[in-house]
Structure 1
Amino acid sequence: MVDRTHQTAVVEGHRMHYLAAGDPDAPPLVLVHGGIIDAAHVSWGGVLESLARDYHVVAPDLLGYGRSAKPDVTYSLSFHVDALDSFVETVGLESTAIAGISMGGGAALGLALRSSAAVDRLVLIDSYGLGRELANGWLTALLSKTAVFNKAAIALMRRSRGFTKASLENIVHDTDALSEDAVDAVWEEVKRPGVGRAYRSFRAAEVTSDGYRTDFSDRLDVLAVPTLLLHGAHDEVFPHRWSERAAARIPDSEFHLLTECAHWAPRERPAAVIDLIREFVPQ
């Protein structure tokens, strides 16, 4: 068993909590979670300790999430890229591998495009930032400007673990196949004060009537970082064709489609995620 420790860094004047595990002298691997109701231990809790046997794993709670500070800011993707950039520098990581899921993938990709010297390997899982089309078109755009439905869902999730598990059907192919730990992690996180506010801000900033605001597709041909793209075959949040298309544009990349998986690969297919990262990131 590899122990994880809770640590804190001050990033752009705000306290950022992160989990650290593994030998500090091992190759560094930063794990970046997604949005909605998420934190380092929520999306990465099922793979973190296994990866820490081979890497020095550092998994931050992005600002606005988990145990990190929740400043009154606009949580756009560019904000998260800036904060991730500052975090990597603050904790003293040089030329690190970074794996990001969903919104966290978009932040990791944004950092790699900004500074290839800061990132030496990039793993994008069901990543944001690879396309503009909205999953549900005008309905997604409408909901992005309306907070009441998200707040109501969170209130119901806080009252019922069963409702929490059922809600995960939006991002999971088979909720009955999820570990109890995965469901419990979300159920506990949803009770945290202020949960959901950062995601609602992100959604309002990033969703427009014409599609997602941030799309790095036209810059992928200059990405100078070896990149692994993983995507769930049943993902209804971001289509897997985004990652397939991106892999064709990134000079040094590989793509894997994950069967029996939707949008939450580290929790739905943890063994596959661990194996593929180990094969791709030097130890």
Structure 2
Amino acid sequence: MKLRKLVAGIGGGIGLTAGVNRLLGMRASELEPPLDGKQGTYRWRGFDVGYTEAGDPDAPDLVCLHGVNASGSSHEFRGVFDALAEEYHVIAPDLPGFGRSDRPPLLYSGSLYSTFVEDFLSEMADEPRVLASSLSGAYAAVAAQSVAVDELVLICPTAETMPGRRVWLRSLLRAPVVGEALFNVITSKRSIRYFNADHGYYDADNITDDLVEYQWQTAHQPGSRFAPASFIAGFLDPDVDLGAVLSNVHAPVTLVWGRQAKTTPLEGGERLAEAANARLVVFDEADLQPHVEHPDQFVRQVVRGENLPGAMTDIEIEEVGGEDATTRE
């Protein structure tokens, strides 16, 4: 009798969990375009990869690659996209498994994304300037070893996000019902706001309701948990020494860091800049996303190079705060 009640209770719990999962899925609407511009589709290895482009097609190409997280998408570039399009032909894809791109239940890997970036840059752009953040910075660096690029501008790039690779965790998050329920907890609006405040934004006032809503929507599209499951379990980290890779790139490299970045502290950025012989631009009052928290300054001082000293040393830290940039070696 007790066993029968236990089995009935487990069955009821699973049924309730499945019902909640279905309800949350029904609340998510079709995802709106992440950016203003022409929406297109790039067909890649069975994926329909969504992208936004804007600007004069005859202008120099600039490709924006968003960071990887449970609710990642090219919406990350909403504050700088229009300004970039004033002088570039800007193309911003949603990586496979994210945003408006296809999200099949594959076992996603770092090598898949490095290959995607390499193919996208070679087929969709002509020797572009590349703007990439976080883990996508590593994918762009790997791709730039074989694809001609004009410059890499990498925002808090890293090739190491999770310690080790945990098959059990990836399997758990991919599991039906239970895995979906766990992912729904990780990507609840409360969790999204918490993670943004904890290691995404310096100023919590920048975490708007509209931002949280879009990130919630993208994290609750069909198949949304499969790529993040591989990310959370450590399988999206490319097995490379990022400093060594960047030192082999035959194009200028600019690293951009938030002084208050916690998951990838500035000290690591300084070491990476030295290893890669790269320029390092540091934004005060910024965490992992200085281009999001200080979009106007980012475009003016990093992309356009305004108000910066004319002579550059091999390794230089440019501290960006307020309206002016100061320099120290």
Shorter-chain TM range is: 0.7 to 0.9
**Residue 264 (1) aligns with residue 289 (2):** yes
CA gap 1:26/1:5 in 2 versus in 1, 3 angstroms: same
Greater RCO structure (CA 8 Å; 6+ sep): 1
**Residue 70 (1) aligns with residue 103 (2):** yes
Q: Is the 8 A contact 2:257 2:283 kept in 1?
A: yes
Shift of residue 141 of structure 1?
4.4
Letter in 2 for 1:229: L
2:274 counterpart (248, 273, 282): 248
Letter in 2 for 1:121: E
Q: Which moved further from structure 2: 180-189 or 235-244?
A: 180-189
Letter in 2 for 1:111: A
**Residue 7 (1) aligns with residue 40 (2):** yes
Q: Give distance in 2, aligned partners of 1:39 and 1:232.
A: 20
Aligned length: 264
* Partner in structure 1 of residue 55 of structure 2: 22
Q: Is the 8 A contact 1:74 1:205 kept in 2?
A: no
* Partner in structure 2 of residue 120 of structure 1: 150
**Residue 219 (1) aligns with residue 245 (2):** yes
Q: Give distance in 2, aligned partners of 1:243 and 1:196.
A: 30
Q: Is the 8 A contact 1:166 1:175 kept in 2?
A: no
Shift of residue 158 of structure 1?
5.8
**Residue 83 (1) aligns with residue 116 (2):** yes
Runs of 4+ off more than 6 Å: none
After superposition, residues 31-180 of structure 1 pair within 5 angstroms as 31-36=64-69, 37-41=71-75, 43-91=76-124, 93-115=125-147, 117=148, 119-129=149-159, 140-141=163-164, 145-147=168-170, 154-156=183-185, 161-170=189-198, 171-180=200-209
Shift of residue 164 of structure 1?
2.8
Q: Which moved further from structure 2: 180-189 or 221-230?
A: 180-189
Q: Give distance in 2, aligned partners of 1:157 and 1:22.
A: 36
CA gap 1:44/1:174 in 2 versus in 1, 3 angstroms: same
Q: Give distance in 2, aligned partners of 1:265 and 1:151.
A: 32
Q: Is the 8 A contact 1:178 1:268 kept in 2?
A: no
Shift of residue 12 of structure 1?
2.4
The DSSP-based 3-state class of the residue aligned with 1:10 is strand
Per-residue CA deviations over 1:181-239 (Å, capped at 9, x if unaligned) read: 4333212222222223212213435489xxx8433223333221101100112222222
Which structure 1 segments of 5+ residues have no match?
none
Which structure 2 segments of 5+ residues have no match?
1-34, 174-178, 307-329
CA gap 1:158/1:80 in 2 versus in 1, 3 angstroms: closer
The DSSP-based 3-state class of the residue aligned with 1:68 is coil
Shift of residue 179 of structure 1?
4.3
CA gap 1:48/1:203 in 2 versus in 1, 3 angstroms: same
Q: Select the structure of larger CA radius of gyration.
A: 2
Q: Percent identity?
A: 27
Q: Is the 8 A contact 2:57 2:89 kept in 1?
A: yes
Q: Give distance in 2, aligned partners of 1:128 and 1:151.
A: 28
CA gap 1:96/1:12 in 2 versus in 1, 3 angstroms: same
The DSSP-based 3-state class of the residue aligned with 2:145 is helix
Q: Is the 8 A contact 2:106 2:226 kept in 1?
A: no
CA gap 1:223/1:238 in 2 versus in 1, 3 angstroms: same
Per-residue CA deviations over 1:94-123 (Å, capped at 9, x if unaligned) read: 1111010011111111111233x2x11101
Q: Is the 8 A contact 2:108 2:236 kept in 1?
A: no
The DSSP-based 3-state class of the residue aligned with 2:72 is coil
Q: Is the 8 A contact 1:74 1:202 kept in 2?
A: no
